[in-house]
Structure 1
Amino acid sequence: MDGARTENPGEPINSSVEEENYRALVYDTALSTFLAVVVYVVVKVGLDRIRQWRARISVLIVGSGPVGLTAALVAVRSGKVLKLTVLDERYRTALLCRPQQIALDPRSVRFLLGLGVDFDNMEGCWHNDHFFTKIGVFQEYLLSILEQKKQKIDVKVHLGTKFSEDYLRRIPCGQWPRVIVVADGSCGDSCSVLGISSDYIVESCHAYGANATIERLDQRQVPTPEIKAHNLYFDLSAYGDVLKEPRSSSHTTAKPGFHLKIYGTFRNRYMALACTAADSKMLRFLRHTSNSSIMKNIFHQSFNAYKMDIEPRLSEVTLHRMQCSRKLFEVMLSQRRVNAAYIEGDNVAVTVEGEAARVLNFDTGCGVNLGMRGLEALGTFIYSTATAQDQNDVFDALAAKIQHSKQVAETFRQTGLPSTMFE
């Protein structure tokens, strides 16, 4: 009995020691696990950052127009391009001799400044924070910037080379570009080569318009500021008294009448005439008339009334130099139903830009700005694709690019014409 009593006091002591040892073991295990997790996270984050920093991909740009070459600058600026290739089936002479004038609005100017474009070294003129230059001049300047980038990046510009199935077959296996940017215009067939649907969504911009062009070979190709005139009324009573609508007509809206824009170089003059959609006798007549001389007379009088003072007037003798729409038409914006895609077998992400993605059937002289809007998300798209860890990351980048493209089209439908024509 006494021996049993002497052993009992030792049991709590042994149990307490074992419990302390167990707690110490649990603590050490938890601490070791925590430290291991911390080290793993730190190392993984560090390695991911190193991988993202070192990630470089090959990018192919199809089309060397203003949008295509700007897309090339965006790709270079992303810092994630190892090899950049620009293709265009047109030769350099055909590209740089394009006489059409483009107008870059303030938003596009800021965007291009961020890409390193120096407007002080480009032929053109400024007016109301807009920059006006010829397409050929703009393209030549962007090509010169890409030439300078060859010191850091493998840049190849292949002019006179058509993007086709035969071109793709010549690319060695495993060397396909990771990103293809299609910017070959509304008449290009690169999307069909890549198997992208040619279906378009066509939506109204709630306006009517007409265009005219004047070619005067005796004038110089000098970039000029655009001229705008608002709330214009035309007396069409000569075509029927019922068409004479007074200024106080009940059809007058918040922005009544027509809006006129004259733009382009002195040699190639362009005019755009537009009005908000309304149900009036005059608009119905101008939309359905078969008499083409009516619109020609309207443009003739409008040009002589609002042209620059140093320009020659249009007379009956020189009127044959003008070509114009036969009647008013509804202004429509067409957007490609599929503007981004993923080629799974070759692990290639494709995005469609510029007029290859969305095109307006009405020329306002500011069409290039619509293409620039789409490029604002291209840098992020290239970066996300280059640093993607798996297909899901690429799909997320494509989804974001598609959403941005839809937003660009919708924003233009709502505010594009008011900002370029009505204000």
Structure 2
Amino acid sequence: MREAGPGTTEPASLRAQYQSLATEAVLSTLLALLLYVALKVSVDGIRHWRAKVPVLVVGAGPVGLAAALVAVRSGKVLTLTLLDERPRAALLCRPQQIALDPRSVRFLLGLGVDFDNVEGCWDREHFFTKIGVFQEYLLSLLEQRKRQLGIRILLGTKFSDDFLKKNLASDWPKIIVLADGSCGESSTVLGISPEYIVESCNAYGANAVIERPDQRQVPTPEIRAHSLYFDLSAYGMDMSAMGQESPKPGFHLKIYGTFHDRYLALACPASDSKIVRFLRHTLNSSIMKNIFHQSFNAYKMDIEPRVNELTLHHIQCSRRLFEIMLSHRRVTAAFIEGDNVVVTVEGEAARVLNFDTGCGVNLGLRGLESTEELIYKVATAVDQNDIFEALAAKIQHSKQVAEDFKQYGLFATMFE
């Protein structure tokens, strides 16, 4: 047997040295990568933390004011400018009542709204108040932040070409939120397409208003009544002759608003029944007034007066049933490339229902649920691709808001 000489151990020793060197190299590389990643994360974190953008909100209605509070909450606002062509007095004297459903209440609570300090009333987790009162409260929240943040509130200032030339020619905001209502002109000023998509909500409806100057402007809860049937035999509609093959549809009624301005909404799911065809095509304008007259007196609050023959002229209403349609903008967000400005359209400037369900503001607030994320992503964007991704997400959410309302909105606000 041959004995191993001293030189036979050298290859094993060399292998061990090589393995040790390789391990050290791998560990060094991993350590360098970890240090690089940690440094990059730290730098990116600092950049994200420090990133802030100037924001302009056009419109000081409920949606515009809420949008301004969303921008403040994002923590990414360098300066915030809020403008509206209406003076302060015109904004705060609006008597119309709005209804905020539980989802909207939760959203507003997140913005710092303390409903205990807002004049209004509660009913089944819904909050009812006057638009002017609501706007005054939201304005006060913004004014409290003016010292901490660069907030400018320009009421009585119209967003126009002249305003752009005088105020934004050299210093455009990074984000513009357009919330100046269905009749606003800001979208046109910025060259955003005015084209709307008009789609059916698969329902028919009519509405009415009763103006009574002698009554109070105190907010009241909504009154709802379901499965209503109307005797229209006096107008030639013989209900007994309709037969079993065409059952009588049940109508849904909602009464809301203050005692001074009472609003009524009547709706039913789309159908081709005889009574629906009759109410859609009749030329007798007194039929709908009679329906609203009887419905109001049957379901009004006990403490308010009835509508009688002497006060019947105070009712203004639809002449017949009409198809309830939702109109929403084809373009709800845009990027102005030359000035690197992101524009988003919110509230009634983005989508309008041709049927007043008393919850129009809720539909506007839905769109704001994705606005904070848009502001954050735009503020921290590295390049235009990041901005386009943020816009795509905002557009998708806006489309979903319209789609959800078409499918479930009327059922939630009228049929339940």
Interval containing the TM-score (normalised by the shorter chain):
over 0.9
Aligned to 2:167, the other structure's residue is in SS state coil
In the alignment, what sits opposite 1:46?
42
How far apart, CA to CA, are the structure 1 residues paired with 2:223 and 2:169?
A: 54
Task: Give the TM-score normalised by structure 2.
Answer: 0.94
Structure 2 alignment gaps of length 5 or more: none
SS state of the match for residue 50, structure 1?
helix
Which AA in structure 2 matches 1:299? F
Question: What is the count of residue pairs matched by the alignment?
Answer: 412
Which residue pairs with 2:27 in the alignment?
31
- Supply the distance in 1 between the matched residues of 2:283 and 2:161 (Cα, whole angstroms): 45
Match of 1:198 among 185, 194, 197: 194
SS in structure 2 of the partner of residue 323 of structure 1: strand
Given the superposition, is the C-alpha separation of residues 387 and 351 from structure 1 closer, same or farther in structure 2, using an over 3 Å criterion? same
Q: Residues 256 and 262 of structure 2 are in contact (CA less than 8 Å); yes or no, is this contact kept in structure 1?
A: yes
Structure 2 distance, partners of 1:413, 1:216, is: 33
Tell me the equivalent position of 1:5. Answer: none
Letter in 1 for 2:116: D
Task: Give, in whole Å, the separation in 2 of the partners of 1:348 and 1:245.
Answer: 64
Tell me how far apart the structure 2 counterparts of residues 190 and 172 of structure 1 sit (CA, whole Å). Answer: 14
1:375 correspondence with 2:368: yes
Counterpart Cα distance in 2 of 1:341 and 1:355: 17
CA contact (8 A) 1:210 1:362 kept: yes
Residue 389 of structure 2 aligns with which residue? 396
Deviation sequence 1:229-265 (CA, Å, 0-9, x none):
1111111112214x42589843348xx4111111001
Describe the SS at the equivalent of 2:411: helix
* Cα shift readout 1:185-209 (whole Å, capped 9, x = no counterpart): 1111111111111111111100000
Is 2:293 aligned against 1:304?
A: no
* Alpha-carbon offset, residue 119 of structure 1: 0.5
Aligned residue number for residue 259 of structure 1? 252
Equivalent of residue 264 in structure 2, options 268, 271, 281: 271
- The worse-fitting range, judged by mean Cα deviation, of 294-303 and 28-37 is 28-37
Shift of 1:307: 0.9
- Which residue is 1:160 aligned to? 156
Counterpart residue number, 1:4: none
Q: Deviations over 1:31-63 (max 9, x none)?
A: 333222211111000010111011111111110
Deviation of 1:10 (Å): 11
Structure 2 counterparts to residues 330-409 of structure 1, below 5 A: 330-409=323-402
Pairs within 5 Å for 1:16-415 = 26-172=22-168, 175-241=171-237, 243-244=238-239, 249-252=244-247, 256-415=249-408
- Structure 2 CA distance for partners of 1:11 and 1:199, relative to 1, 3 Å: farther
Quote the residue 1:6 is aligned against.
none
- Alignment check: 8 A CA contact 2:242 2:274 kept: no
Per-residue CA shift, 1:79-122, capped at 9, x if unaligned? 11121111100011110000100011111111111111000001
1: CA distance between counterparts of 2:399 and 2:406?
11
Q: CA RMSD in A?
A: 2.0
Give the letter aligned to residue 281 of structure 2. H
Deviations 1:321-354 (A, max 9, x none): 1110011100001110000111111111111111
Asked if 2 retains the 8 angstrom alpha-carbon contact of 1:68 and 1:183, the reply is yes
Query: Are the aligned partners of 1:245 and 1:282 in contact in 2 as well (CA < 8 Å)?
Result: no
Separation (CA, whole Å) in 1 of partners of 2:210 and 2:355: 16
- Secondary structure, counterpart of 1:311 in structure 2: coil
Distance 1:29 1:369, change over 3 A: same
Task: Give 1:286 deviation, angstroms.
Answer: 0.9
Residue type of the alignment partner of 2:406: R
Could you tell me how far apart the structure 2 residues matched to 1:249 and 1:370 are? 38
Structure 2 counterpart SS, 1:61: strand
2-structure distance, mates of 1:76, 1:245: 61
- In structure 1, what is the Cα distance between the partners aligned to 2:19 and 2:165? 67
Identical positions, percent: 70
The answer to whether the Cα contact below 8 Å between 2:202 and 2:324 also exists between their aligned partners in 1 is: yes
Matched to 1:182, the amino acid is: L
Gaps of 5+ in 1: 1-8
Moved more, 288-297 or 162-171: 162-171
Separation of aligned partners in 1, 2:12 and 2:373: 61
Does structure 2 retain, via aligned residues, the 8 Å contact 1:101–1:134? yes
Alpha-carbon distance in structure 2 between the residues aligned to 1:306 and 1:71: 37
Mapped contact 1:354–1:372 kept (Cα < 8 A): yes
In the aligned structure 1, how far is the partner of 2:253 from the partner of 2:81?
Answer: 41
Distance 2:325 2:241 in 1: 29
Q: Does the CA contact (< 8 Å) of 1:180 and 1:351 recur in 2?
A: yes
1:260 and 1:252 map into 2 onto residues whose CA distance is 19
Residues 57 and 177, structure 2, Cα contact 8 Å, conserved in 1: yes
**Residue identity opposite 1:304 in structure 2:** N
> Residues 167 and 245 from structure 1, CA distance in 2 versus in 1: closer, same or farther, beyond 3 angstroms?
farther
Is the Cα–Cα contact under 8 Å of residues 179 and 349 in structure 1 kept in the other structure?
A: yes
